[in-house]
Amino acid sequence: MTYERIACLSTEAVETLYALGAQDRIAGISGFTVRPPEARRDKPKISGFSSSRIERILAVRPDLVIGYSNLQADILRDLAQAGVEVHLFNQHDVGGIFRMIATLSALVDRRDEGEGLCARLRAVIDATKQAASGWTRRPRMYFEEWNDPLISGIGWVSELMTIAGGTDVFADLAGHHGARDRIIADGGEVVRRAPDIIVASWCGKKFQHASLVSRPGWDAIPAVRSGSVAEIKSPDILSPGPSAITHGLPQLHALVAAWQASHASRETA
């Protein structure tokens, strides 16, 4: 017996179940789900991320509810009290993404498919590492997860920047799971750490390039001076599932490759 009616309150669970070929087990999804497109088209939307109504979730008669992080712990507690089985994932690094896939594939009896998915994701990582191995310089990178207050990148984002060929200038904060613990209280600290590349991904909020580059003192940052400021859409990088590797990592690597090419051209000019 496996679970047949799974309510997914997190987007990466939806994406993973589709990748495992277990989309028929999904009874409802988060309203923030964007990948795959057919999930948003075909599945009932039963929750937000940190705000959910238990009645809407129970209405799809789930035999398992999957959530993510402490932000969904309360709603999962309430569902457990209502007699529903729950599973709370809490992955914050690349290794955790692979463990999530392995666990979820076991829950739906798709272990072989899970192993295949993990193998494909490892191949993406290995190919990226190989492509970056020939570079002698690693650009310093600042990832901005939120703009007010400034919040730096979480663990898996920091790891992916390293895999892509860069170095996270706020790697010292990346191990903190909570966003509050990654707040950069003084924007001048970003200036002092002098990133060569700035990547913004404001948790679904529209990125405003002009407001970032016009911050006081930020014209001294190498990334701003060289125009190496870019956005990666939040669904591509901030969901700790397959898409962070298949969509986010290639974009990070492309930014590093562009910096490498620009740096090389300046040296030969």
- pLDDT tens across 201-253, in order? 998 789 999 999 999 999 999 999 999 999 999 999 999 999 999 999 999 99
Q: Would you say residue 269 has pLDDT above 80?
A: no
pLDDT at 265: 67
Asked if the structure places residue 207 within a domain, the reply is yes
pLDDT at 69: 92
Asked if the structure places residue 32 within a domain, the reply is yes
Asked if the structure places residue 259 within a domain, the reply is yes
Q: Would you say residue 129 has pLDDT above 90?
A: yes
User: Range with the lowest mean pLDDT among 43-57, 110-124, 149-163?
Assistant: 43-57
Asked if the structure places residue 124 within a domain, the reply is no
Beta-bridge mates of residue 147: 150
- The answer to whether residues 173 and 260 belong to one domain is yes
Of 90, 120, 145, the domain-final residue:
90
Average pLDDT over residues 130-137: 96
pLDDT at 18: 98
Task: Give the pLDDT confidence of 11-63 residue by residue, as tens digits.
Answer: 999 999 999 999 999 999 999 899 999 999 999 999 875 556 899 999 999 99
Range of the domain at 156: 135-268
- The answer to whether residues 202 and 262 belong to one domain is yes
pLDDT at 263: 82
Beta-bridge mates of residue 142: 198
Largest CA distance in the chain: 69
Domain count for the chain = 2
Asked if the structure places residue 257 within a domain, the reply is yes
Stated pTM of the model: 0.94
Asked if the structure places residue 129 within a domain, the reply is no
Classified as helix, coil or strand, 214 is coil
pLDDT at 268: 59
- The answer to whether residues 150 and 234 belong to one domain is yes
pLDDT at 194: 99
User: How far from 120 is each of 73, 85, 93, 147, 238, CA to CA, in Å?
Assistant: 31, 30, 18, 34, 20
Q: What is the CATH number of the domain that holds 236?
A: 3.40.50.1980
- The answer to whether residues 172 and 264 belong to one domain is yes
217-231 residues labelled b (16+ CB within 10 A) or e (exposed): ebeebebbeeebbbb
Q: Give Rg (Cα) of the chain.
A: 20
- The answer to whether residues 183 and 248 belong to one domain is yes
pLDDT at 65: 98
| Mean pLDDT, the chain, integer | 95
Measure CA of the first residue to CA of the last residue in the chain; give whole Å.
66
Average pLDDT over residues 135-162: 97
User: Range with the lowest mean pLDDT among 39-53, 97-111, 116-130?
Assistant: 39-53
